[in-house]
Amino acid sequence: MHKDCERILLTEEQLKARVKEVAEKVDKDFQGKRPLVVGILKGSIIFYADFIRFLSMPIELDFLAVSSYGSGAVSSGKLKIKKDLDRDVKGRDVIIVEDIIDSGFTLANLKALLKERGAASVTIVTLLDKAERREYDIKPDYNCFMIENEFVIGYGLDYDEQYRHLPYIGILKRSVYEK
């Protein structure tokens, strides 16, 4: 285990088994469709890569990078898009793949944006859900794990751009961000 980890919350095995289970459910529910699968950079990359490999339907891949101001910070009330989609979402079934839903700001805004651009449907798949922290009215359609209000790293998730490549999800030691 990495020295900055308090403890491991989800092991590689647990992640793999649950991601497979959720992906197979999505695959079943979308049979006959050809969704655009949108990964939110960078946090979702590892989950995204594992998730899509369990899908048997035809899909197209696309990515979005956003910056969220969070709830406490000064916010224009709008989401800032750092890298936009390559594809037009008009009339498309869009599956958003996200690492974690915290306040819900990012996904509430993204969902509204994609709808505004004419997506036929917007489905949210998230790896983690910190439901206790929710401030915006948004619910994932598929969630792999509910977690407590703790700062987690690994499997794509970072703290200050570190730890994304850890193969498990761990709880970050408080001493790392409280110093």
Active site residues: 102
- Of positions 54, 57, 59, 103, contacts ligand IMP by CB under 6 A: 103
Q: Is 94 left (phi over 0), alpha (psi -120 to 50) or beta?
A: beta
The DSSP secondary-structure symbol of 26 reads H
Residue range at the interface with ligand IMP (CB under 6 A); choices 5-13, 15-23, 56-64, 99-107: 99-107
Q: Can you say whether residue 169 is alpha, beta or left, with left for phi > 0 and alpha for psi between -120 and 50 degrees?
A: beta
Among 22, 46, 95, 152, binds ligand IMP (CB under 6 A): 152
Task: Specify the stretch interacting with ligand IMP by CB under 6 A; choose among 1-9, 17-25, 94-102, 111-119.
Answer: 94-102
Nearer to ligand IMP, 39 or 102 (CB): 102
Q: Which residue is nearest to Mg ion (CB)?
A: 43
> Which alpha helices (DSSP H) does the chain contain, by range?
12-29, 45-52, 105-116, 174-177
Rounded Cα gap, residues 84 and 146, in angstroms: 29
Is 140 near Mg ion (CB under 5 A)? no
Residue 102 touching ligand IMP (CB under 6 A) = yes
15 binds ligand IMP (CB under 6 A): no
Determine the Cα–Cα distance for residues 25 and 23; give it in Å rounded to an integer.
5
> Is residue 43 a contact residue for ligand IMP (CB under 6 A)?
yes
CA–CA distances in Å: residue 95 to residues 71, 83, 127, 157: 25, 17, 13, 20
Q: Quick check: 105 binds ligand IMP (CB under 6 A)?
A: yes
Q: Which residues make up the interface to Mg ion (CB under 5 A)?
A: 43
